[in-house]
Structure 1
Amino acid sequence: MLKRFVTSREALLLGAIILLLALIASRFPAFITPANLADVFTDTSPLILLAIGQMIVILTKCIDLSVAANLALTGMVVSMINVAAPELPIIVIVLIAISFGAVLGMVNGILVWKLAIPPIVVTLGTMTIFRGIIFVISDGKWVNSHEMSDAFKAFPRMEFLGLSVLGWTAIVAVIVFSIVMTRMPLGRMFYAAGGNPHAATYAGINVGKTQFLAFTISGALAGLTGYLWVSRFAVSYVDIAGGFELDVVAACVIGGVSIMGGIGTVGGALLGALFLGIIKNALPVVDISPFWQLAISGGAIIIAVALNAQANREKGRFILKRAE
């Protein structure tokens, strides 16, 4: 078990993260203090939550480009609900956010499942639609901090054992979905639907329905993240989290999730998100321009895709060799 982990993609990425932290600490030792690392993890938590949902979708040979728009729309909806009913308990707000996000995810899932529209086309369309709905319901206006209730803003910032509720939410999601993906039939269905759809169909798995469930989970996590995002930053507007879907896909790819489906782990998505999160937090500290920040992130994505492709080729060669 230990030998398998040492040679795994996750171990390689973990080593890269440790090396990155060591390089940063050589110039700015304060960056690796426990308090600052907790802040970095909190900043990265929304990316972790969305990356878990995206990983499940990609496992089924799909992709969800609407996660950031889902986050923004759900965040605007719960913000407006809070303004209209500030006495509403936070647990109710959280449940509304998860449910509303799940419904948006279901829209994607139904279009992919029942109408057989390519996922990239569906989610590109719904991404634009969701952003448009935000503008319609808000009339293009912002919901600002002074309009939100104190309880609404305080929940994700509350701390327990030195880490915020936002950070603990990401940890709980990692644990829950690690169990789902490795110990439960639903997780095996996701891997089967993307790894070999034809064999999955013969085994009695409804591939379309499995993809629908993947989009629903991704939407629910995006909805939860929507509330946590707007309450933490105490603002909601049309373009919130604009372009964030690209970071989500990048975190998955860097974490070893194959865009061809069937390959990936929750741990890999977590490490990919942490890698990007550390880069985004560290590069401004070392006074690197925004251009190079984007270039480094893009380079990491290209290298990750190349490694994934090389691994798939080696696997194919190995299978053919054994067949001979």
Structure 2
Amino acid sequence: MKTLLKQREIWLLLAIAVLIGLVSTRYAAFASLRNLATVFNDTSILIILALGQMVVILTRSIDLSMASNVALTGMVVAMINAAYPAIPVPALIVLGACVGLALGAFNGLLVWKLGIPSIVVTLGTLTIYRGATFLVSGGAWVNADKMSPTFIGLQRAQLLGLPLLSWFALAAIALFYLLLTRTPLGRALYAIGVNPTASVYAGIDVGRTTFVAFCISGMVAGICGYLWVSRYVIASVEVANGYELNIIAACVIGGISIAGGIGSVGGAVLGALFLGLINNALPVINISPFWQMAISGGAIILAVVLNARGERRQGRIILKKAEAT
């Protein structure tokens, strides 16, 4: 029982349940399955992006350019759809994934080959990709009237009572779970985060694996470029502006350690859902948006404190002492 209660996912589930219960006292329909399904759908893009960010954070890196990647790939696919509406939407999604992959690979190459810290690289590409969005579009917007009905409607289509956007998120959860728990790449990602030096002696190419992690995060952002633009039916330079903070917050709240090597798919999903519930619940009970920001920030600080305490567990201490020796 004690081991169970030490798991971050259990505490997050309890916090989510308490939040739903408190809001339900003011608005009973909030706890209905239909409304919770809507909240999940609203949070789906954040869930997918948090999973992509998690892969990078596990390697002791960070990708601050994901939101700018979303904006640029979203603009590219929207402009192509506006100019050539006959192109099938799945082809545009694949194109977005390829563009996002290229942007992520650029980040990964700079980190791998030049040895530049990831926070510096992605802080620079954050601005580069946002500026490229303006250059590609000439500062113009692509609005709903320029997008084809299939481009807008695909992820709104229903399957077994859920929008396809929710199914995108569920598929991402399943794929990332398999990647991180059932593949050599997943084990390598965790190993690098725990101890990069020992990983080299274990035969893991740390630089190449980190590069692959950035490619994955870039490809995820590219897919979300289409999902974002088609959901909110607008492509502009301001798309997802500042959203990188939400992505990282979801990971931190979900127990993914910034120091690398610690985290789970379930934690990332619950962290994103916690933020999604806050964003959906607080307006229902007429709480100011500024208080929403304060509550989200408080949750992030609390999560960092809990993460720091978790990293002082006996296993981590022994590892650090061994490294020092």
- Bin for the TM-score computed over the shorter chain: over 0.9
Which residue in 2 is equivalent to 1:217? 216
* TM-score, scaled to structure 1: 0.96
Alpha carbons 1:105, 1:217 under 8 Å: kept:
yes
Which residue in 1 is equivalent to 2:123? 124
Does residue 25 (structure 1) correspond to residue 20 (structure 2)? The answer is no
Letter in 2 for 1:193: I
Whole-angstrom CA distance in 2 between matches of 1:110 and 1:315: 35
Which residue in 1 is equivalent to 2:33? 34
Whole-angstrom CA distance in 1 between matches of 2:233 and 2:316: 53
Whole-angstrom CA distance in 2 between matches of 1:111 and 1:317: 30
Alpha carbons 1:61, 1:260 under 8 Å: kept:
yes
Q: Root-mean-square deviation (CA), in Å?
A: 1.6
For residues 162 and 3 of structure 1, do their structure 2 counterparts lie closer, same or farther at Cα, with a shift above 3 Å needed?
farther
Gaps of 5+ in 2: none
Letter in 2 for 1:84: A
Structure 2 matches for 1:149-298, cutoff 5 A?
149-298=148-297
For residues 34 and 310 of structure 1, do their structure 2 counterparts lie closer, same or farther at Cα, with a shift above 3 Å needed?
same
Whole-angstrom CA distance in 2 between matches of 1:83 and 1:188: 42
Whole-angstrom CA distance in 2 between matches of 1:288 and 1:54: 30
Displacement of 1:39 in angstroms is 1.2
Displacement of 1:180 in angstroms is 1.0
Whole-angstrom CA distance in 1 between matches of 2:185 and 2:310: 26
Which residue in 1 is equivalent to 2:63? 64
Displacement of 1:4 in angstroms is 4.6
Whole-angstrom CA distance in 2 between matches of 1:4 and 1:161: 37
Whole-angstrom CA distance in 2 between matches of 1:68 and 1:99: 16
Alpha carbons 1:35, 1:162 under 8 Å: kept:
no
Work out the percentage of aligned pairs sharing the same amino acid: 58
Displacement of 1:302 in angstroms is 0.2
User: Once structures 1 and 2 are overlaid, which stretch shifts more, 123-132 or 155-164?
Assistant: 155-164
Letter in 1 for 2:253: I
Whole-angstrom CA distance in 2 between matches of 1:308 and 1:232: 34
Letter in 1 for 2:194: G
Displacement of 1:313 in angstroms is 2.0
Which residue in 1 is equivalent to 2:111? 112
Which residue in 2 is equivalent to 1:98? 97
Letter in 2 for 1:229: W
Displacement of 1:314 in angstroms is 3.5
Letter in 2 for 1:173: A
Alpha carbons 1:98, 1:223 under 8 Å: kept:
yes
Which residue in 1 is equivalent to 2:312? 313
Gaps of 5+ in 1: none
Displacement of 1:319 in angstroms is 3.8
For residues 258 and 14 of structure 1, do their structure 2 counterparts lie closer, same or farther at Cα, with a shift above 3 Å needed?
same
Displacement of 1:315 in angstroms is 3.1
Whole-angstrom CA distance in 2 between matches of 1:4 and 1:90: 47
Whole-angstrom CA distance in 2 between matches of 1:7 and 1:287: 34
Whole-angstrom CA distance in 2 between matches of 1:318 and 1:105: 34
Whole-angstrom CA distance in 2 between matches of 1:272 and 1:220: 21
Whole-angstrom CA distance in 1 between matches of 2:260 and 2:46: 20
Letter in 2 for 1:198: T
Whole-angstrom CA distance in 1 between matches of 2:2 and 2:110: 43
Whole-angstrom CA distance in 2 between matches of 1:317 and 1:158: 47
Displacement of 1:3 in angstroms is 7.2
Letter in 2 for 1:201: V
Whole-angstrom CA distance in 2 between matches of 1:160 and 1:153: 16
Number of matched residues? 321
Letter in 1 for 2:142: V
Whole-angstrom CA distance in 1 between matches of 2:314 and 2:43: 33
SS in 1 for 2:236: coil
